[in-house]
Chain A
Amino acid sequence: MSLSPTGALRQSGNLFAMALDVVRTVPRRPFQAREFIQQAWFVASVTILPTALVSIPFGAVIALQIGSLTRQLGAQSFSGAASVLAVLREASPIVTALLIAGAGGTAICADLGARKIREEIDAMQVLGIDPIHRLVVPRVLASMVVAVLLNGLVSVVGVAGGYFFNVVLQNGTPGAYLASFTTLAQLSDLWAAEIKALVFGAIAAIVASYKGLTAKGGPKGVGDAVNQSVVITFMLLFVTNFVMTAVYFQVAPQRG
């Protein structure tokens, strides 16, 4: 990446232009169903296990933090409520973002980057096939779908992990934990998290594809592209997460 301000501007402009191209190309027929399914399966296979493994300690940490706090305040009956709220609202989109960018995005970027430097992408364009339509759109859609599903997985595993730590290790009462489930969290929290995941999936895949398709300079170029794609995606995802959370609090009425 060049360090000059115009270089950075050009990069972001190109990235945005490609995002627009992707949006414009989504409705174009024929839809690449085969590629979509393959990619969805691929992204899912590289992210499911790490996601589950990351969300267990994540839920546990939240349970530990909240557990001691609620005990001090004498509000143990609310530890379930707080735990669910934290997992659902913040933990699950963040974990999803980390894994979709770190595992899914890097895989997409490395794959496309390797194809680019082997001139496969050029060959495809010369054969009259638009790589955005043939390769990028299925990947973006696959990553979005998988992100939404991952978000669900993180929520379930995170809450289960929280339950386990609260009830089994901190001697909380199962009844109180379950009964307070919906005192703070509400259904719209889940929807908001899912929408976040959808957007994160799109951003991660678009950035990864952009970096992959513009890789140059041999194998080292692919490495650099992957590296940059992770960094850029993380920055974008955390900013997006903040903005979407702020908007959500304005739009949805809160409980409690």
Chain B
Amino acid sequence: MGVEICVEGLTKSFGRQVIWQDVSLTLPAGEVSVMLGPSGTGKSVFLKTLVGLLKPERGSVKVAGRDVTRLRERELYEVRKLFGVLFQDGALFGSMSLYDNIAFPLREHTRKSESQIRRIVLEKMDMVGLLGSEGKLPGEISGGMRKRAGLARALVLDPEIILFDEPDSGLDPVRVAYLNQLIVDLNAQINATFLIVTHDIASARQVPDNIGLLFRRELVMFGPREKLLSSDEPVVRQFLNGRMQGPIGMAEEKDAAQVEQELAQLGDGAHTKTPGGQALTPRLLPGPGITRPPRWEAIARREAELHRKEVADA
């Protein structure tokens, strides 16, 4: 049914280098959230901290009321069973076939018979479109297939929370679109809490309920999609529009004077363009074959209304 994750005052550093500090946010149960940020701002580190692979210096991560950062090893392994994680390259076990990879969590954690396992594994492989590749080794397939196989493996234990580490990196735009649709469909089907770490703006605009942005060692903003897409915060606007003018530089942040100048050059045109409804990209909805739970029904109604208004305005 989805579990809420409550992060409070989280700070992580490697040696003397602070990755991010004082990050507080709540991932609402059953909703899709996206964590954005320029490369190297510790998005993956954030994800690994959520599942307790890395220990933060300060702060807490509460999953189903239990603080992941303070659990003992044994309890941590219990809590982790709530999670499904899709790693950047799928993180499949190289010595096992795709079938064995996906069956692995079932064989380790459940007492299901081989025929039951087979049914579940094939169902999940069908879900991600990998039927027919059961016997292949991870080394023999493309990056996109590895990602989908990793997703299937993350799904077999029916997790309450699914974390995606850059699901779109290294994929072509068409596959990214398919993957986004798959993520939305999955959310409508299993109602788990989703967190997607990415720097793909197009996905971030269409897919989530909530968006967060990490930059300059802190969480710049976290909130509903509409709020961030129409935000006037310079960092958020720069990132979501993917332009060079703004506080984010090539190597690091820029100095304030330069930012002022660039934003002035950009002119008022760009400023006035967005606040209208026009910038709000329509949301990706579950496919036609998927039965929508009430939450998605409401979202679909709201989207339809918004769209109708836009058409009327034009």
Majority secondary structure, A binding face: helix
Q: How far is A119 from B94 in the complex, measured between Cα atoms in Å?
A: 11
Q: Which of B2-10, B27-35, B57-65, B76-84 contacts the other chain?
A: B76-84
Contact of B77 with A130 in the complex, beta carbons under 8 Å: yes
Residues of A within 8 A of B108 (CB): 127-129, 134
Do A119 and B73 have beta carbons less than 8 Å apart? Answer: no
Cβ-defined contact, B80 with A128, below 8 A:
yes
Chain A residue, CB-CB nearest to B104: A127
Which residues of the other chain, A, contact B88 by a CB distance below 8 angstroms?
A: 119
Give the residues from 54 to 97 in chain B that come closer than 8 angstroms, CB to CB, to chain A: 73, 77-78, 80-81, 83, 85, 87-89, 91-94
Main secondary structure of the interface of B (DSSP, over half): mixed
A124 (CB) vs chain B CBs: closest residue: B93
Is A8 an interface residue when CB atoms closer than 8 A count as contact? no
Known: A122-B48, A122-B53, A123-B85. A128 touches B91 (CB 8 A): no
Are A118 and B81 touching (Cβ within 8 A)?
A: no
Q: Does B109 contact A (CB under 8 A)?
A: yes
What residues on A are CB-neighbors of B223 within 8 Å?
A: none
Chain B residues near A134 (CB, 8 Å)?
Answer: 108
Chain A residues with Cβ below 8 Å from B53 are 122, 125-126
User: Which residues of chain A come closer than 8 Å to B87, judged between CB atoms?
Assistant: 119, 122-123
Q: A125-B80, A128-B81, A130-B73 are in contact. Are A118 and B104 (CB under 8 A)?
A: no
Q: Bound state CA distance, A130 and B53, in angstroms?
A: 12
A126/B80 contact (C-beta < 8 A), A119-B89, A120-B94 known = yes
Q: Does B204 contact A (CB under 8 A)?
A: no
Task: Note all chain B residues with C-beta closer than 8 A to A129.
Answer: 77, 108
Residues of B within 8 A of A128 (CB): 77-78, 80-81, 105, 108-109
Asked whether A119 lies within 8 Å of B91 as measured between CB atoms, the reply is yes
Q: How far is the CB of A131 from chain B (nearest CB, A)?
A: 11
**Cα–Cα, bound, A114→B91 (Å):** 11
- Tell me, yes or no, whether B179 is within 8 Å of chain A by CB: no
Is B89 a contact partner of A127 (Cβ separation < 8 A)? no
Compute how far the CA of A8 lies from the CA of B57 in the bound complex, rounded to whole angstroms: 22
- Cβ of B207 under 8 Å from chain A: no
Most chain A C-beta atoms within 10 Å of own C-beta, residue among B73, B77, B83, B109: B77
| Complexed CA–CA distance, A125 and B108 (Å) | 12
The reply to whether the CB of B284 lies closer than 8 angstroms to some CB of chain A is no
Which of B51, B53, B88, B109 has the largest number of chain A CB atoms within 10 A? B53
Q: How far is the CA of A124 from the CA of B81 in the complex (A)?
A: 11
- Tell me if A118 and B48 are in contact (CB < 8 A): no
- In the complex, the answer to whether A127 meets B94 with C-beta atoms within 8 Å is no
B92 to chain A: which residues have CB within 8 Å? 120, 123
Q: How far, in angstroms, from A122 to B86 measured CA to CA in the complex?
A: 11
Chain B, residues 115-156, CB within 8 Å of chain A (1/0): the string is 000000000000000000000000000000000001001000
User: Cβ of A127 and Cβ of B80 under 8 Å apart?
Assistant: yes
Taking CB atoms, residues of chain A closer than 8 Å to B73 are 130
A positions within 8 Å CB-CB of B: 114-115, 118-120, 122-130, 134
Chain B residues close to A by CB (< 8 Å): 48, 51, 53, 73, 77-78, 80-81, 83, 85, 87-89, 91-94, 104-105, 108-109, 150, 153, 157
Shortest beta-carbon contacts, A-B, top 5: A123-B91, A119-B91, A126-B85, A128-B81, A128-B80
